[in-house]
């Protein structure tokens, strides 16, 4: 049940509204530190990036619809598949899950009023935007990265890729990494220190466990990419020899460093999707998650074990058998925590009384594709089989099923699920279901045939193929599937866009959700909750007593924290109330700092080192300004 | 300063929940720091940032050994084995600065602003001398071999310069703390800053030991 | 491939099992609890333990044993002592250099091996990472600077097998294929003997003219024709080019018309390739083609 505001409560609510009022206009958005506004900015930027990455995909599929086509030159095609990978992974999926969903929902789910570091949260967004701009400036100049999203050397070295395409890649990824590292730090501190008093760790929603796992994984995986890219740029721009056999270097060093990042990265991609699924399933199944502790443990184990398997991307490199066998075994072990979660979800739906509304349909689609993609992944742990299909379309099929089918479907379902909360309006259910089916079928038709064409010998990253090889019909089907898929995605966007203006009012809790965000208004007020919520279980909205208690506390004026921008800080494990924190509101320093950093990285790409140094000094000054008044901004 | 407590939520409103950011004097900030049950958010943030930096150096050190094991001769012919004496002395002195930094953090919690300023400025001078020494040693090395000459040179200089950059950043943090604690006072915000600074130096000092041992490994 | 069919079978069963559960979730959506088994929570938890841990553990251990303990030995690089001959394959952007060290024969983009013979292929690269893959004969093996990887070819049936580079190696990665001809031992010996001999001398005036043109223009700076002055190593060895069935790494068939088209305008067929447009007049192209097509 949602918060009821009495007349007495009304004066407190009004006071909070005045204190937390957002600055108006575009300046208000640029200087915002509110996690919800930042989440929305991430959302729309990521959506644009999704469109860009999707366009790149459609161009490629159109090129491949028949043999020997000339829509894209080989150079253009190489830039397309590279930018598609970079965009989808670094500029769409991670920002959408962590930046949009994580930022918007995490404080709401733990009963807080904002993230632990609101200004750094804004900084993460502006840096993300800057890194996206940097990549697309590259494309606009015709110098987009063109050696694949994992950019193997020596192909990506100065000798074989002399323009600055790869420099945009190297520095762009380091720049983007700063955004994600800052976001991870923010998430971890928020989850550990900012939960509502009484929300001990075992009462934290599973969504939050997933994001905790993601944040730790990002924190420890990104340094490997940073080092790899740093070495790459030192080799390319300053003539160092990390990857250069002639001088004692090794191209495999790049592969190892990249995949030590790259494999955890794919679990980072999918774990938030698990989190979204664990939020949607109990709500629509009308029951608690089966085996909650095991699911939480599974989420953390997947993130942890994901650090030990990276060599399975390198089974054909020629390592000793013992090495490959060890990593195959480690890769197989991850199936267990994934399987636990999968069957917990299925069991929850099976034993509940499920309402197959659009969000749940997308989660069912996610379960289907996670199974299919997971099973094809298991086959890839069979080393002799992998050594046949590595770098063929079989692998492309596998990872698109798990990335698109299993990571993006919950994003789409989550968009529908939280649309009423964010906008205050309901989406159109019928169109929602139709959009699901079109997307589901389109995904299948696009990516399933890729398994077959891969086994038939079609390698990845080929800008065209000969007519007599027997790949033509399958490619044709895949391309048609891509158009169907694009249509389904467009239907989702259109549904939500129209519903934004025409949808009926949603109220606080249209789906009888289980987590705290459903107790507050739709959309939530800037201060999230008038009263810091009382929590006794991971399903706070289903604890009617606690919610009634909160209503009484609001009427009595208790637990309001209305002396400024205030929110509680609690202890890490048991959430004992420890301090009342003053939160910053509205600051120009995050976008200014991000701008100076953009200057640093852009100048590094251009090899203007002194100017880059100048921008770095400017960044330092900006950080001084940031801390100048402490929290009183 | 505290919320009215209610029997309905024992434990939710402990009598001493403080509005910590309202502590603007050193003694008030110190009291807040001593009453806290958990580590402050800012300190957590620094701790997690340092986790990422440790991972960064761990990766670079692993790369050093990866290239080492790949090579027939390490360092390659023509490059002398690294000298041990001055780098070790320098690192020992740097690590010793953890002691004044630790004292500074404790003094901050005790609310003793003057002692904090004294300890941090003293440590800063020594840390600055350390950096100066390291730069001299680096230039001497550059006369013997260049990073562009071999993979050994590449990883050797990158590892060292990455470490020195962290020392330089630490010096800038020292300066920032000194300026703000002098002019703004030892508020709750800057007390957390002092504690985070101390943590930064502890971790950088540990990393310094590892970097020393690794870069000197061929001579040990 | 047998492994694949088994994995597909097991995967299908597992997948269908989960799908059945989902379908039951739909059909029995009005009724809480497990269908047929009731509402006890520990039954639901048991389902998770059995399907999430127990069954996967069994399947995974079996898969691991079969594929990563037993079968993996068969795809490992062969012990050179157990092989009858060695071939060196060097990857280039975007063609394959093939050496037969026993006789000094050099060719490009085509490998011939005798049937039922264990052949040790040593895979290296001259520039970037490539990957040697002949799907019908064995797994792929990467060609990495600084490494000498080896792979076994042991064909049991004569015939023609297509291979393709399968590690993105640049602009014309899509047109870097190769052909493996598995022949009877007698046919192979004849082929190898021919390949080991120097190039044929021209027999007609057109061929002679073509040879002269070849030696005097930039052709000779990139290509080798054994027994002549042409000793370039940038491009494929052309000593016996006429004996090959395809050109440009299996991009076009090896006919006079196609070869003329290639020499006139390689960038139109393989844009970005290292062979530049030479700007030769058509008559010269025809004569060079005559010469090259005589090099059986």
**Residue numbers in chain B where pLDDT is lower than 70:** 1-17
Q: Among A117, A240, A578, select the one facing B45 at the smallest CB separation.
A: A117
Distance from CA of B190 to the nearest CA of A (A): 8
Q: For residues A574-598, b (16+ Cβ closer than 10 Å) or e, as one string?
A: bbbbbbbbbbbbbbbbbbbbbbbbb
State residue A316's pLDDT score: 94
Specify the 3-state DSSP secondary structure of C181: strand
**Which of C273, C174, C164, C288 is closest to C238 using CA atoms?**
C288
CB-CB under 8 Å, A460 with C29: no
What is the rounded distance in angstroms from the CA atom of residue B106 to the CA atom of residue A628? Answer: 24
Largest CA distance in chain B: 78
Q: Which residue of A has its CA nearest to B68?
A: A248
Distance from CA of C28 to the nearest CA of A (A): 8
pLDDT, one tens digit per residue, over A182-193 is 999 999 999 999
Taking the whole predicted model, whether its pTM rises above 0.80 is answered as yes
> What's chain C's average pLDDT?
92
pLDDT at C28 exceeding the cut of 90: no
Specify the 3-state DSSP secondary structure of B97: coil
Q: Report the DSSP pairing between strands C141-143 and C105-108.
A: unpaired
Burial class (CB in 10 A: 0-12, 13-18, 19+), A369: buried
pLDDT at A2 exceeding the cut of 80: no
Mutate to test the interface with A, among B1, B154, B169, B188 (most CBs of A within 10 A): B154
CB-CB under 8 Å, C25 with A160: no
Q: Residues 365 to 384 of A: which have CB under 8 A from any B CB?
A: none
Tell me which chain A residues have a C-beta less than 8 angstroms from the C-beta of C2. Answer: none
Q: Report the DSSP pairing between strands C110-114 and C177-183.
A: parallel
Average pLDDT on A565-590 reads: 91
pLDDT, one tens digit per residue, over A155-165 is 999 999 999 99
Average pLDDT on A28-56 reads: 97
Strand positions, DSSP E, C16-118: 85-92, 95-100, 105-108, 110-114
Average pLDDT on A491-509 reads: 95
User: Subunits with at least 3 CB pairs below 8 A relative to chain C?
Assistant: A
State residue B8's pLDDT score: 36
Residues 6 or more apart in contact with residue A97 via CB below 8 angstroms: A214, A269, A272, A273, A276, A407, A411
Distance from CA of A68 to the nearest CA of C (A): 10
Q: Which residue of A has its CA nearest to B64?
A: A242
Distance from CA of C94 to the nearest CA of A (A): 12
Tell me which chain C residues have a C-beta less than 8 angstroms from the C-beta of A387. Answer: 75, 139-141
Instruction: For tokens 């742990």, name the residue.
Output: A381
Q: Among B32, B56, B147, select the one facing A226 at the smallest CB separation.
A: B56
Q: Which residue of B has its CA nearest to A256?
A: B63
What is the rounded distance in angstroms from the CA atom of residue A298 to the CA atom of residue C18? Answer: 19
CB-CB under 8 Å, A392 with C28: no
Q: Among B18, B41, B52, select the one facing A222 at the smallest CB separation.
A: B52
Distance from CA of A56 to the nearest CA of B (A): 33
CB-CB under 8 Å, B149 with A197: no
Instruction: For tokens 């929590």, name the residue.
Output: A535
- Percent of chain C with pLDDT strictly greater than 70: 100
Distance from CA of B95 to the nearest CA of A (A): 24
CB-CB under 8 Å, A341 with C63: no
| Most confident residue range from A109-113, A557-561, C74-78 | A109-113
> Which DSSP state fits A289?
P
Q: Residue A370 to residues A87, A93, B157, B188, C20: CA-CA distances in angstroms?
A: 22, 16, 45, 48, 16
CB-CB under 8 Å, A383 with C18: no
Tell me which chain C residues have a C-beta less than 8 angstroms from the C-beta of A381. Answer: 63-64, 67-68
pLDDT, one tens digit per residue, over A396-413 is 999 999 999 999 999 999
**Distance between first and last Cα of chain B:** 59
pLDDT at A293 exceeding the cut of 50: yes
Tell me which chain A residues have a C-beta less than 8 angstroms from the C-beta of B155. Answer: 242
Residue C36: pLDDT band by 50, 70, 90 thresholds? confident
Tell me which chain B residues have a C-beta less than 8 angstroms from the C-beta of A568. Answer: 17
Average pLDDT on A466-480 reads: 95
Query: What interhelical angle do A165-193 and B41-70 show, nearest 10?
Result: 140
State residue A621's pLDDT score: 96
Q: Among A78, A335, A351, select the one facing C60 at the smallest CB separation.
A: A335
What is the rounded distance in angstroms from the CA atom of residue A242 to the CA atom of residue A263? Answer: 22
pLDDT, one tens digit per residue, over A376-392 is 999 999 999 999 999 99
CB-CB under 8 Å, C139 with A382: no
Q: Residues 158 to 197 of A: which have CB under 8 A from any B CB?
A: 181, 184-186, 188-189, 192-194, 197
Residues A186, A117 contacting (CB under 8 angstroms): yes
Tell me which chain A residues have a C-beta less than 8 angstroms from the C-beta of C28. Answer: 350
Average pLDDT on C278-283 reads: 91
Backbone angles phi, psi at A8, to 5 degrees: -65, -40
Average pLDDT on A106-128 reads: 97
Q: Which residue of C has its CA nearest to A327?
A: C68
CB-CB under 8 Å, A455 with C18: no
What is the rounded distance in angstroms from the CA atom of residue A621 to the CA atom of residue A117? Answer: 19
Q: Among A74, A350, A372, select the one facing C171 at the smallest CB separation.
A: A74
State residue B2's pLDDT score: 39
| CB of B32 less than 8 A from some CB of A | yes
pLDDT at A286 exceeding the cut of 50: yes
Q: Residue C66 to residues A332, A379, C60: CA-CA distances in angstroms?
A: 13, 12, 10
Omega before C186 cis (within 30°)? Answer: no
User: Subunits with at least 3 CB pairs below 8 A relative to chain B?
Assistant: A
CB-CB under 8 Å, A335 with C170: no
Distance from CA of A630 to the nearest CA of B (A): 6
Tell me which chain A residues have a C-beta less than 8 angstroms from the C-beta of B69. Answer: none
Backbone angles phi, psi at A561, to 5 degrees: 55, 65
CB-CB under 8 Å, B37 with A219: no
State residue A34's pLDDT score: 96
| CB of A231 less than 8 A from some CB of B | yes
Residues A465, A478 contacting (CB under 8 angstroms): no
Query: What interhelical angle do B113-144 and B188-215 show, nearest 10?
Result: 30
**Which of A628, A588, A617, A611 is closest to B172 using CA atoms?**
A617
CB-CB under 8 Å, C32 with A457: no
Average pLDDT on A122-144 reads: 97
Tell me which chain A residues have a C-beta less than 8 angstroms from the C-beta of B48. Answer: 184-185, 188-189, 219
Residues C240, C107 contacting (CB under 8 angstroms): yes
CB-CB under 8 Å, A340 with C149: no
What is the rounded distance in angstroms from the CA atom of residue A117 to the CA atom of residue B40? Answer: 12
**Which of A521, A520, A517, A512 is closest to A542 using CA atoms?**
A512
Residue C35: pLDDT band by 50, 70, 90 thresholds? confident
What is the rounded distance in angstroms from the CA atom of residue A34 to the CA atom of residue A43? Answer: 14
**Which of A53, A54, A208, A181 is closest to A121 using CA atoms?**
A181
State residue A633's pLDDT score: 54
> What's chain A's average pLDDT?
94
Q: Which residue of C has its CA nearest to A161?
A: C170
Q: For residues C104-130, b (16+ Cβ closer than 10 Å) or e, as one string?
A: ebbbbbbbbbbbeeebbbbbbbebbbb
Distance from CA of A352 to the nearest CA of C (A): 5
pLDDT, one tens digit per residue, over C199-238 is 999 999 999 999 999 999 899 999 999 999 999 999 999 9
Two tokens at C219?
Answer: 């052709």
Average pLDDT on C77-99 reads: 93
Q: Among A189, A224, A249, select the one facing B48 at the smallest CB separation.
A: A189
What is the rounded distance in angstroms from the CA atom of residue C263 to the CA atom of residue C282? Answer: 10
State residue A630's pLDDT score: 80
Largest CA distance in chain A: 79
Average pLDDT on C43-69 reads: 88
- Strands across the sheet containing A577-582: A566-570, A577-582, B18-19
């Amino acid at each position: 049940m949602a918060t009821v505001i009495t007349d007495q409560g009304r004066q407190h609510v009004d006071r909070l509204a005045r204190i937390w009022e957002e600055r108006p206009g575009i300046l208000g958005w640029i200087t915002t530190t509110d996690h919800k506004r930042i989440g929305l900015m991430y959302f729309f930027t990521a959506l644009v990036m999704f469109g860009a990455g999707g366009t790149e995909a459609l161009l490629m599929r159109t090129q491949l619809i028949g043999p020997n086509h000339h829509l894209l030159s080989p150079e253009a095609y190489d830039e397309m598949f590279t930018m598609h990978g970079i965009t989808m992974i670094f500029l769409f999926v991670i920002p959408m899950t962590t930046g949009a969903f994580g930022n918007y929902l995490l404080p709401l789910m733990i009963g807080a009023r904002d993230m632990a570091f609101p200004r750094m949260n804004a900084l993460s967004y502006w840096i993300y935007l800057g890194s996206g701009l940097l990549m697309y400036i590259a494309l606009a100049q015709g110098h987009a990265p063109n050696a694949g999203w994992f950019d193997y050397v020596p192909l990506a070295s100065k000798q074989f890729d002399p323009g600055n395409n790869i420099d945009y890649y190297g520095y762009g990824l380091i720049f983007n990494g700063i955004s994600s590292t800052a976001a991870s730090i923010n998430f971890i501190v928020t989850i550990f220190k900012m939960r509502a008093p009484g929300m001990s760790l075992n009462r934290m929603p599973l969504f939050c466990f997933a994001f905790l796992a993601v944040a730790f994984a990002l924190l420890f995986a990104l340094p490997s990419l940073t080092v790899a890219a740093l070495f790459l740029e030192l080799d390319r721009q300053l003539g160092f020899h990390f990857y250069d056999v002639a001088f004692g270097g090794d191209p495999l060093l790049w592969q190892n460093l990249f995949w030590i990042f790259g494999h955890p990265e794919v679990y980072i991609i999918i774990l938030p999707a698990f989190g979204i699924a664990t939020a949607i399933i109990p709500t629509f199944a009308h029951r608690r998650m089966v085996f909650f502790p095991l699911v939480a443990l599974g989420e953390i184990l997947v993130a942890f074990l994901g650090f030990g398997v990276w060599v399975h991307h390198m089974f054909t490199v020629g390592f000793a058998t013992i090495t490959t066998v060890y990593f195959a075994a480690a890769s197989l072990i991850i199936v267990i925590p994934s399987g636990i979660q999968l069957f917990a979800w299925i069991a929850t739906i099976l034993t509940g009384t499920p309402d197959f509304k659009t969000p749940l349909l997308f989660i069912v689609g996610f379960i289907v594709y996670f199974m299919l993609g997971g099973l094809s992944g298991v086959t890839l742990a069979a080393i002799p089989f992998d050594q046949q299909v590595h770098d063929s379309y079989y692998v492309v099929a596998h990872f698109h099923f798990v990335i698109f089918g299993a990571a993006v479907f919950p994003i789409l379902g989550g968009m529908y699920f939280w649309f009423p909360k964010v906008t205050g309006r309901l989406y159109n259910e019928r169109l929602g279901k139709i959009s699901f089916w079109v997307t589901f079928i389109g995904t299948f038709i696009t990516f399933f045939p890729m398994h077959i064409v891969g086994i038939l010998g079609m390698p990845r990253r080929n800008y065209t193929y000969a007519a007599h090889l027997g790949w033509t019909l399958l490619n044709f089907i895949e391309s048609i599937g891509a158009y169907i898929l694009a249509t389904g995605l467009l239907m989702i966007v259109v549904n939500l866009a129209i519903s934004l203006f025409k949808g009926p009012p949603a109220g606080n809790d249209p789906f009888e959700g289980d987590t705290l965000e459903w107790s507050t208004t739709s959309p939530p007020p800037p201060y999230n909750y008038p009263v810091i919520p009382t929590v006794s279980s991971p399903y706070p909205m289903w604890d009617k007593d606690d919610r009634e208690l909160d209503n009484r506390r609001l009427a009595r004026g208790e637990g309001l924290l209305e002396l400024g921008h205030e929110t509680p800080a609690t202890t890490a494990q048991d959430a004992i109330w420890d301090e009342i924190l003053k939160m910053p509101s509205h600051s120009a320093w995050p976008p200014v700092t991000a701008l100076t950093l953009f200057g640093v990285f852009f100048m590094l790409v251009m090899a203007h080192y002194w100017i880059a140094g100048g921008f770095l000094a400017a960044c330092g000054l900006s950080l001084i300004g940031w801390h100048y008044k402490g929290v009183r901004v | 300063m505290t919320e009215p407590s209610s029997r309905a939520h024992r434990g939710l409103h402990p009598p001493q929940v403080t509005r910590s950011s309202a502590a603007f004097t050193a003694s008030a900030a110190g009291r807040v720091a001593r009453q806290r049950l958990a580590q402050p958010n800012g300190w957590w943030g620094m701790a997690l940032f340092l986790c990422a930096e440790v991972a960064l150096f761990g990766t670079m050190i692993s790369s050093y050994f990866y290239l080492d094991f790949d090579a027939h001769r390490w360092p390659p012919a023509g490059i002398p084995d690294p000298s041990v004496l001055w780098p070790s002395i320098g690192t020992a002195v740097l690590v010793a600065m953890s002691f004044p930094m630790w004292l500074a953090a404790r003094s901050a919690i005790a609310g003793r602003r003057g002692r904090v300023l004294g300890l941090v400025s003293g440590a800063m001078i020594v840390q600055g001398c350390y950096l100066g020494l390291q730069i001299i040693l680096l230039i001497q090395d550059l006369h013997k071999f260049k990073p562009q000459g071999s993979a050994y040179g590449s990883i050797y200089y990158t590892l060292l310069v990455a470490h020195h950059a962290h020392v330089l950043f630490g010096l800038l943090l020292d300066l920032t703390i000194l300026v703000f604690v002098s002019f703004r006072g030892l508020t709750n915000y800057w007390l957390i800053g002092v504690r985070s600074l101390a943590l930064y130096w502890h971790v950088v000092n540990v990393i310094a030991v590892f970097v020393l041992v690794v870069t000197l490994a061929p001579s040990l | 491939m047998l492994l694949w069919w088994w994995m597909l079978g097991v995967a299908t069963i597992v997948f269908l099992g989960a799908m059945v559960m989902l379908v039951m979730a739909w059909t029995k959506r009005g009724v809480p609890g497990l269908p047929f088994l009731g509402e006890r929570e520990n039954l639901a938890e048991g389902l998770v333990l059995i399907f999430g841990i127990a069954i996967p553990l069994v399947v995974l251990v079996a898969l691991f044993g079969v594929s990563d303990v037993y079968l993996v030995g068969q795809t490992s690089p062969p012990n050179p002592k157990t092989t009858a001959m060695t071939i060196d394959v060097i990857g280039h952007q975007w063609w394959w250099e093939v050496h037969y060290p026993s006789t000094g024969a050099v060719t490009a983009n085509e490998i011939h091996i005798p049937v039922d013979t264990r052949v040790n292929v040593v895979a290296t690269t001259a520039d970037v990472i490539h990957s040697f893959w002949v799907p019908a004969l064995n797994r792929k093996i990467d060609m990495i600077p600084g490494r000498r990887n080896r792979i076994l070819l042991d064909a049991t049936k004569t015939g023609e097998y297509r291979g393709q580079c399968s590690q993105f190696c640049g602009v014309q990665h899509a047109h870097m294929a190769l052909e493996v001809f598995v022949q009877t031992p007698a046919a192979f010996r004849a082929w190898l003997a021919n390949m080991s001999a120097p190039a044929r001398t021209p027999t007609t005036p057109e061929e002679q003219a073509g040879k002269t043109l070849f030696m005097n223009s930039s052709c000779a700076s990139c290509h080798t024709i054994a027994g002549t002055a042409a000793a370039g190593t940038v491009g494929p060895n052309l000593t016996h080019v006429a004996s090959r069935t395809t050109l440009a790494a299996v991009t076009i068939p090896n006919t006079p018309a196609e070869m003329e088209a290639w020499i006139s305008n390689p960038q139109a067929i393989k844009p970005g390739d290292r062979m530049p447009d030479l700007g030769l007049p058509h008559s010269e192209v025809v004569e060079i083609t005559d010469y090259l097509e005589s090099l059986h």
